[in-house]
Amino acid sequence: MARCCRSEPAGAEKSSSAGGSVSETRLTKTLSCTLLSSVIEREIIPRLFDGHPGASADADTTGEHHQGVPQDDERPCGAAAALAVDPDEMVRLILAGHGTPRLLDPLLRLLDQGIGLSRIYLDILTPVARRIGELWQQDRCSMLEVTLSLSRLHCILLEIGRHNGGMPAQVFGKPRIFLAPVPGEQHTFGLLMVQEFFLQAGWGLDSRYDASLPTIIKHISTKKFDIVGFSISGPDLFETLQNLIHLVRKHSLHRNLSIIVGGGLFKDQPEFASRVSGATVVGEGVNAVEAAENLIYTDDRRRVARQPV
């Protein structure tokens, strides 16, 4: 499940969003991220598929908006415009609490028209997730709204995969990958999309989205993976990433383990790519499967070359 939980400095007060109630603000300050995520995962996500209480999928949304979200008369631009879906409109509908069918239908029509999954993920869903994060950073929506919105996006992600023929079974002979955000990382929607790419390619996959460093190391030391991948969004956790890479290599059951890393850090501050030691940086999530397969192919060639003739 996608989570977006942010810690505030001691004594800091975060204002409630436009449309957010006082009780909601108190809730976000009282509940821990773990408890909130658990409640959403078990109680709220199943209901998202049935629509938001009190708002049908066909409800008129005139006048409904959140501060900072562009209104209907603003046109989409760039790659999303070519797909005739406005990410800003999706943000508005998601924050307004519309159910999955209302949000999903335009995307399913694109699939039926032959638009690839990667274009929908990267040109529509990624900008939507980024915009919601920006609204949170600008104090224009609450943590609860962000968490629910990203949960709706996760539901959409899963439904698109199912509509596209369902998740293929693991292809015999395909490698296995373990994916996780760096411990402490709170931005995981991009990693969810990368996970979908690997599943669609038939890879065996295991993932942990809220695991501590000891939990990841224990998992790596008891199960064999061909590739391990980590995501990171900002420089604050870079040293944690480097330490994680070192420990994973030390404890992995796979002697020739390949590690890939990616995330917003390497897009926003590309100079960090040259500072990564012991792993391959993947700049774009859509290229992760190809990069991983190239690493395995290269590793296999080296092993064959070392064998005596």
From CA 158, how far away is CA 100, in angstroms rounded? 11
Q: Closest Cα to residue 231, out of 274, 203, 260?
A: 260
SS3 category, 68:
coil
Asked: is 176-306 a CATH 3.40.50.280 domain? The reply is yes
Quick one: which of 196, 211, 288 has its CA closest to 244? 211
H-assigned helices in 186-237: 189-200, 213-222
Window from 47-51, 78-82, 155-159, 245-249 with minimum mean pLDDT: 47-51
- Give residue 227's pLDDT: 96
Distances (CA, A) of 244 to 54, 71, 157, 181, 256: 46, 44, 28, 11, 16
Q: Tell me, what's the pLDDT at 87?
A: 85
Q: Where are the domains of the chain?
A: 22-163, 176-306
Whether 282 and 262 have beta carbons less than 8 Å apart is answered as yes
∠ at Cα 205 (231, 169), nearest 5°?
140
SS3 70: coil
- Give how far Cα 256 sits from Cα of 134, 179, 206, 250, 295, Å: 40, 17, 19, 11, 10
- What pLDDT does residue 280 have? 96
More confident residue, 232 or 14: 232
d(CA 237, CA 183): 8
pLDDT digits (tens, 9 = 90+) for 194-232: 988 898 888 999 999 888 999 999 999 999 999 999 999
| pTM across the whole model | 0.61
127-160 confidence digits (pLDDT tens):
888 888 888 878 888 888 888 888 888 888 878 8
Which ranges in 49-142 belong to alpha helices (H)? 79-82, 87-95, 100-112, 117-120, 126-137
Residues whose CB is less than 8 angstroms from the CB of residue 195 and which lie 6 or more positions away in sequence, other chains included:
179, 205, 207
Q: How is residue 260 annotated by DSSP?
A: E
How many whole angstroms from its chain centre is CA 174?
23
Q: Which has the closest alpha carbon to 125: 79, 177, 181?
A: 79
**Residue 134 structure tokens:** 């920006």
- CA–CA separation, 66 and 83 (whole Å): 24
pLDDT for res 148: 85
The average pLDDT across 58-67 equals: 36
